[in-house]
Amino acid sequence: MSANGPATEDLIKEVEFTHTNALMEKYIEAHSAQSKWKRIPLESRIECIKDFAALLLENKEELSTELTLEVGKPITQSISEIEGAASKCDFFILNSEDLLKRQKLNQDGATEEIIDYDPLGVIGHISAWNYPYLVGINIFVPALIAGNAVLYKPSEHCPKVGDSIARLLWQAGVPKEVFQVLHGDHKCGQAMLHLPLDGYFFTGSNAVGKKIASAVAPKLVPMILELGGKDPLYVTNDLSNVDNAAEQALDGAFYNNGQSCCSVERIYVHEDIYHEFRDKFIQKVSELSIGDPLNPCTYIGKVTRKAHMSYLEEQIQDALSKGAKLECGGKRIDEDYFEPTVLTNVTHDMKLMQEETFGPVIGIQKVISDAQAIELMNDTEYGLTSSVFCSDRLRGERILKEINSGTGYLNCADRVSSYLPWAGRKGSGLGCALSKHGLYAFCAPKGYHLR
């Protein structure tokens, strides 16, 4: 497999596919190593993650350049990803000891009732390319702390980043057999589904997530699916600072070229401020700097997968054919970049307002009330995040409560915290990463009745 980075199109590295026959060998190694790893004191496993986080920061420059070369992300956003990845470990470093300790929960007469958290065993993580550090950490950090071994398949679009993650974890003290990298495309992912793993943790598209769910279900082992989104943002008419809302909506929609699971993908604006918001938003879009991802001034880099450009064009054509108005952008530039695109007069019979776009294209729809906004925000098969801009906190929270998504943002968007659950609803996923729930996801709780 050759890794040609979209940033320069140069061959970055030849990466060898992990041969299907080697998968079982790696599993057997991991299985045997895990029985030792789980016996290492919890504090020592946490110490390894602490050292891993420190190594991320120490090697920030080299790692962020590699990330940009491999996925075409602007260099400033790659630096933020590495810094964010290091600080994302903090929740688990600070809280795991307390959360995983054996707890006496009740005394029933002569019987002590105690809960213990065993690791699952050897788990598989099949991962995505858009935030390889951030989405990887959701899985392998709590999994390793809880005492599991991990077979990690990075996306075929960022194998070199996958190797760097492994190198730093090994350097931090995680045994090589306990964290192993499997290289390959969907065939490698499919082959992992035939291994007798003790849990499957997938980050990727809804379509692949459904295939994984049906293959894993008969195994009766835990599974988490972190899938795509069609995340809505609603701007109410109760807003003291429309410019700020436009600025944040812009960042939510176009950060990482719109290639985030929690990118803002649909904007609804109350009719009272619709024109003001729309004009400010479009003005800001026209000021975005597009260009070489290695240039620190660039905000919009290259689209990572070239094949995705025709998908973006199709969504735009579908919307235009049904009456949408193209306000700016609308086409690719030089086969590498896609113009940041805004469409108005959009409706829910357009793919643009229903299907994940995963690119720098956004639709803005006018609404007449909170009730209409709520109805529209709920009207997709996804439920990852939703965002409301509103000066009245009670009103904002009331709206968010009505939206069937795992995350609600008030006056912010496109944000992840390791202290809070990350749990897509409906077509956006199954199960929960991050927070204490995302640590317990890698444990098999055991109840002891001790008399």
Task: Provide the annotated active-site residues.
Answer: 226, 261
**Contact pick of 29, 66, 226, 265 for ligand NAD (by CB under 6 A):** 226
Task: Select from 27-35, 64-72, 117-125, 151-159 the region that touches ligand NAD (CB under 6 A).
Answer: 151-159
Q: Are 225 and 259 in contact (CB under 8 A)?
A: no
Tokens 């300790």 found at: 101
* CA 30 – CA 14 distance, rounded (Å): 25
**Site stretch for ligand NAD (CB under 6 A), options 45-53, 68-76, 143-151, 197-205:** 197-205
Q: Which of residues 91-130 bind ligand NAD (CB under 6 A)?
A: 126-130
Cα-trace Rg, the chain: 23
Smallest distance from ligand NAD to CB 65, Å: 21
Size of the chain, expressed as the number of residues it contains: 451
Instruction: Please pick, from the candidates 185, 314, 379, 381, the single residue that binds ligand NAD as defined by CB under 6 A.
Output: 185
Q: Whole-number minimum distance, CB 299 to ligand NAD, in Å?
A: 20
The CB-of-428 to ligand NAD minimum distance in angstroms stands at 6
- Identify which of residues 188 and 319 has a Cβ nearer to ligand NAD in the complex: 188
C-beta closer to ligand NAD: residue 38 or 211: 211
Using CB under 6 A, which of the segments 11-19, 80-88, 207-215, 238-246 binds ligand NAD?
207-215
Distance in angstroms (rounded) separating the CA atoms of residues 194 and 197: 8
Distance, in Å, from the CA atom of 48 to the CA atom of 313, rounded to the nearest integer, reads 46
Sign of the C-alpha dihedral computed for residues 207, 212, 218 and 220 taken in this order: negative
Which letter, b or e, does each residue of 370-402 get, where b requires 16 or more Cβ atoms within 10 Å of its Cβ? bebbbebbeebebbbbbbbbbeeeeebeebbee
Between CA 37 and CA 3 the distance in angstroms is 32
Least separation in angstroms between CB 284 and ligand NAD = 24
**Residue 398 Cβ, how far from ligand NAD at the closest point, in Å?**
26
Binding segment for ligand NAD (CB under 6 A), chosen from 18-26, 89-97, 153-161, 327-335, is: 153-161
- Whichever of 164 and 203 has its CB closer to ligand NAD, that residue is 203
Out of 45, 153, 230, 436, the only residue in the binding site for ligand NAD (CB under 6 A) is 153
Distance of alpha carbon 270 from alpha carbon 233, whole angstroms = 11
| Residue whose Cβ sits closest to ligand NAD | 189
- DSSP code per residue over 300-325: B---S-TTHHHHHHHHHHHHHHTT-E
Which residue number, 230 or 278, has a Cβ lying nearer to ligand NAD? 230
Q: How far is the CB of 283 from ligand NAD (least distance, A)?
A: 28
Residues 317-346 that bind ligand NAD (CB under 6 A): none
Alpha helices by DSSP H, 72-131: 75-100
State which of positions 378-437 bind ligand NAD (CB under 6 A).
384, 424, 429
User: With left for phi above 0 and alpha for psi between -120 and 50, is residue 121 left, alpha or beta?
Assistant: left
Residue 204 interacts with ligand NAD (CB under 6 A): yes or no:
yes
282 CB-contact burial (10 Å; exposed 0-12 / middle 13-18 / buried 19+): middle
135 binds ligand NAD, rule: CB under 6 A: yes
Interface with ligand NAD, residue 258, by CB under 6 A: no
d(CA 174, CA 167) in angstroms, rounded, equals 10
> 365 has which bridge partners?
268
Residues 289/299, Cβ–Cβ less than 8 Å: yes
Does residue 256 bind ligand NAD (CB under 6 A)?
no
Number of residues that bind ligand NAD (CB under 6 A): 30
- Selected from 33, 178, 227, 235, the binder of ligand NAD by CB under 6 A is 227
Binding residues for ligand NAD (CB under 6 A): 126-131, 135, 153, 155-156, 185-186, 189-190, 203-205, 208, 211-212, 226-229, 261, 356, 358, 384, 424, 429
